[in-house]
Structure 1
Amino acid sequence: MGRTLVIGDIHGGLKALDQVLERAEVTTDDLLIFLGDYVDGWGQAFEVINRLISLKSSHDCIFLRGNHDELFYDWLTKSKDNPNWLHHGGQATINSYADRPYNFIKIHINFLENLENYYLDNQNRLFIHAGFTNVRGVEEEHFTKMFYWDRSLWEMALASRNLPLEDEFYPERLKLYKEIFIGHTALSKINISQPLNVANVWNIDTGAAFTNPLTIMDIDTKEFWQSDPLPSLYPNEKGRN
């Protein structure tokens, strides 16, 4: 039996992905759970998706859907974009895909179509890009876009950090799962560069899209490994704003 390793938001940073896989000494015995947002930010979105597809053929992987992945999919398949997406990393992804062979584009579209909204393991540990809103859990969620857009789960965990589990005001959503692993809300926004545990929620988005490193973590031991800060890997790029 290998480890279960969870990987935070990559945002086009192939060099960081390669570093964390090497530093964690990942083997084919390990289960790799990617929390989404593979594109939009640094200039190697195409190469990141290629690498993930390659990993899928050689490793046991679970790929979750992030909001940036959905926005990119809409652009690829419907030529649908918006100024907000372009401003928040979309233009770097478009540049990365310029003049790529169409047979590769079709393979990447298939990859994006088959991303999972969440993963629940046999120990009742939930892996999801952003969150959920239904008090009965992900299987009862009617608004599936919340799986990769919601921020209220993380905000609720932060607001409840000093409440004991038995408190009458302790949020019901946080009682449903043994642990919840998320990305989506970059910890760099609160000047934190390592995974943060609040209540039973682990935020693994350490801000690789901005100025911080990418993180991979062993969910059982909580040991983690990080890349170099992304600006040092891409000194001629700006990343996301």
Structure 2
Amino acid sequence: MAEYVIGDIHGEIDQLKTIIDKINYKPKEDKLIFLGDYIDRGADSYKVYRYIKELDNGDNIFLRGNHEEMMIDAVLNDNNIDLWYHNGGQATERSFPNRSELKEAARFFNSLPYYHSSQDYIFVHAGIRPDRKLKKQTEHDLVWIRYQFLGAKPGDFKEKRTVVAGHTPVPKVKFEENKILMDTGAGKGGILSAINLETKKVYSSAEKNPIASIL
């Protein structure tokens, strides 16, 4: 069985389907781990939502990202709507056929976990605080943290497992001693990437990342 990790999608349904084709995904044999941020910015958040629901077979892992958090707060709680809109929420709203399905999607995203872990890896949307073990992390940090995680050296971490995260765009999948960074800018003009967790082979929706020079 192969395990594949897929980075931030941001409403780019064609890129997601390209990745699924490139890895030659076999539902009965392979496992997919998604790092969150399925929605916002790109034009087809609704189609991405419907597609990942089709992939939800009980074995694949779907984590939540900060964009799902913003949608949940805006759609289910009527809070911080301007924040969601400022970060691409209006594109998501436009992609949904009606308010009922938008709320259904928000409820689905609200059921997703903040992290997934194994013996060797921690999978999370944004990263972790280096000075805390996984169970001591806050939900906010798991979907929002950036520089404190990115700037920390391997020796700073209480967790000795490799952290696989998205959230912060990079020109190409970045392998560090204790981090793998997966967000290659889909939804911002960039590409979507995935890795085979065992072989570390990278699969991307295009050969070149159009925004690599600005990341």
For 1:35 and 1:77, locate their aligned partners in 2 and report how far apart those are by CA, in whole Å. 22
Q: In structure 1, what is the equivalent of residue 213 of structure 2? A: none
**Aligned pair partner of 1:171 in 139, 153, 156:** 156
For 2:69 and 2:16, locate their aligned partners in 1 and report how far apart those are by CA, in whole Å. 20
Cα deviation for residue 101 of structure 1 reads 6.5
Cα deviation for residue 200 of structure 1 reads 1.1
| CA deviation string 1:45-73 (max 9, x = no partner) | 1111111111103x621111100001011
Q: Quick check: 1:221 aligned with 2:199?
A: yes
**Aligned pair partner of 2:106 in 105, 109, 123:** 109
Cα deviation for residue 6 of structure 1 reads 0.3
Aligned in 2, Cα 1:36/1:43: closer, same or farther, shift over 3 Å? same
For 1:129 and 1:229, locate their aligned partners in 2 and report how far apart those are by CA, in whole Å. 24
For 2:202 and 2:176, locate their aligned partners in 1 and report how far apart those are by CA, in whole Å. 17
Contact 1:211/1:229 (CA < 8 Å) preserved in 2?
no
Q: In structure 1, what is the equivalent of residue 143 of structure 2? A: 148
Contact 1:13/1:230 (CA < 8 Å) preserved in 2?
no
Q: In structure 1, what is the equivalent of residue 54 of structure 2? A: 54
Aligned in 2, Cα 1:146/1:8: closer, same or farther, shift over 3 Å? same
Amino acid at match of 2:169: A
Aligned in 2, Cα 1:229/1:208: closer, same or farther, shift over 3 Å? farther
Bigger mean CA deviation after superposition, 85-94 or 6-15: 85-94
Structure 1 segments (4+ residues) deviating >6 Å: 229-232
Q: In structure 1, what is the equivalent of residue 133 of structure 2? A: 137
* Residue aligned with 2:87, SS: helix
For 1:212 and 1:105, locate their aligned partners in 2 and report how far apart those are by CA, in whole Å. 26
Superposition RMSD on alpha carbons, in Å?
Answer: 2.2
Contact 2:169/2:183 (CA < 8 Å) preserved in 1?
yes
Contact 1:126/1:177 (CA < 8 Å) preserved in 2?
no
Q: Where in structure 1 are there 5+ consecutive unaligned residues?
A: 233-241
Aligned in 2, Cα 1:42/1:230: closer, same or farther, shift over 3 Å? farther
- Alignment identity in percent? 30
**Aligned pair partner of 2:175 in 197, 222, 225:** 197
* Residue aligned with 1:37, SS: coil
Alignment of 1:1-241 (within 5 A): 2-28=1-27, 29-57=29-57, 60-97=59-96, 99-100=97-98, 102=100, 104-121=101-118, 123-133=119-129, 135-141=131-137, 143-157=138-152, 160=153, 170-173=155-158, 176-187=159-170, 192=171, 194-228=172-206
Bigger mean CA deviation after superposition, 80-89 or 144-153: 80-89
For 2:146 and 2:128, locate their aligned partners in 1 and report how far apart those are by CA, in whole Å. 9
Q: Where in structure 2 are there 5+ consecutive unaligned residues?
A: 211-215
Cα deviation for residue 130 of structure 1 reads 0.7
In the superposition, the TM-score normalised over structure 1's length comes to 0.79
In the superposition, the TM-score normalised over structure 2's length comes to 0.88
Cα deviation for residue 5 of structure 1 reads 0.4
For 1:96 and 1:81, locate their aligned partners in 2 and report how far apart those are by CA, in whole Å. 20
Contact 2:35/2:165 (CA < 8 Å) preserved in 1?
yes
Cα deviation for residue 80 of structure 1 reads 2.7
Structure whose alpha-carbon radius of gyration is higher = 1
For 1:213 and 1:229, locate their aligned partners in 2 and report how far apart those are by CA, in whole Å. 9
For 2:4 and 2:71, locate their aligned partners in 1 and report how far apart those are by CA, in whole Å. 25
The size of the alignment, in residue pairs, is 209
Aligned in 2, Cα 1:153/1:22: closer, same or farther, shift over 3 Å? farther
